[in-house]
Structure 1
Amino acid sequence: MRIWVDADACPAPIKELIVRTARRLRIPAVFVANKFISIPDSACVSTVRVELGPEIVDEYIAKHAEPGDFTITQDIPLASVLVPKGVTVIDPRGELYTEENIRERLSIRNFMQDLREAGGITPGPRQFGQKEKQRFSDTLDREITKRFKLQGN
């Protein structure tokens, strides 16, 4: 079990929470980014810096994540690749992507992108705050607990 983090756009409070979780539970966490990111030093935490490019981080995570791993990303196309592989995917606001909801999320994302490309104005993301951080924490804890129970730990 490993936690993969799409770190370029991950909010700092979520990165901190992931580091604390990795240390506490001794789960390796890998922060993947195409720029320098500052992550506290820990035996359980590492960073991978990939080349600049629009999908390089996503491709790296998709290639290396395995069934039973976790990925933290707000990238819905990446989630749509990982979920069928058996990777648990959570966005930084605490939404769990599943086999049941990923197609709908991808469809909405694609529709909104098409709308923007056609000149439409779409709302930006909601502000990130304590409520979102707590929801993420709750979702991550719940899903890790499930995984430990499945593994008999």
Structure 2
Amino acid sequence: MTAIYVDADACPVKAEVERVATRHKVQVFVVSNGGLRPSQNPLVEHVIVPEGPDVADMWIADRAGTGDVVVTGDIPLAAKVVDAGAKVLKHNGEALTAQNVKEALAMRDLMADLRSADPFRQGGGKGFTKADRSRFLDSLERVLRAAKA
């Protein structure tokens, strides 16, 4: 049975995941190290992991597998769960697959190297937009429909 795992720290689409999962009657695990208001939805289980680097990622990676959906912006986590057979959606609706996750991981590492080489480099990525939210909703809907087929 399909489950959705949400890497919830700094995730801007938790409410959207819950709404789509409820419509499809899919179990959701919202994984964080605390600080989030638990949902009253019986399909949503809030999992609080101990603080520490990548503890939430490890919890998800140990459980997500074939047929599951993982919502994360963390590329190393995405690579692990794609290898385990899970579908991965970034917050903007972009799917990370066996065909593109290694390239995304290489790009992430390259950008980290560039940032460390230039300590004066400021700023982050693009902001999260309404269009990103809409793309995410559409992508999650399509992934869950395909899982039921």
> Match for 1:112: what amino acid?
M
Instruction: Tell me the equivalent position of 2:143.
Output: 143
> How far apart are the structure 1 equivalents of 2:43 and 2:19?
10
> Match for 1:143: what amino acid?
V
> How far apart are the structure 1 equivalents of 2:143 and 2:3?
13
Work out whether 1:111 is the aligned partner of 2:110: yes
SS in 1 for 2:106: helix
Alignment of 1:1-153 (within 5 A): 1-11=2-12, 14-119=13-118, 121=121, 124-149=124-149
Shift of 1:85: 1.0
> How far apart are the structure 1 equivalents of 2:60 and 2:68?
11
Contact persistence 2:20–2:137 (CA under 8 A): no
Contact persistence 1:36–1:49 (CA under 8 A): no
SS in 2 for 1:67: coil
Shift of 1:36: 2.3
> How far apart are the structure 1 equivalents of 2:98 and 2:122?
26
Using structure 2 for the length normalisation, give the TM-score. 0.94
Cα deviation 1:11-51 (Å, max 9, x = unaligned): 1xx11111111211110000000122114211100100001
Cα deviation 1:27-82 (Å, max 9, x = unaligned): 00000001221142111001000011111010010001121100000000000111
Unaligned runs of 5+ in 1: none
Percent identical across equivalent pairs? 36
SS in 2 for 1:35: coil
> Match for 2:111: what amino acid?
M
Aligned residue pair count: 147
Contact persistence 2:5–2:29 (CA under 8 A): yes
Using structure 1 for the length normalisation, give the TM-score. 0.92
Q: Cα RMSD between the aligned structures?
A: 1.2
Cα deviation 1:84-132 (Å, max 9, x = unaligned): 1110000111110011100110000000011112225265121112100
Structure 1 residues 98 and 123 mapped into 2: Cα distance closer, same or farther (>3 Å)? farther
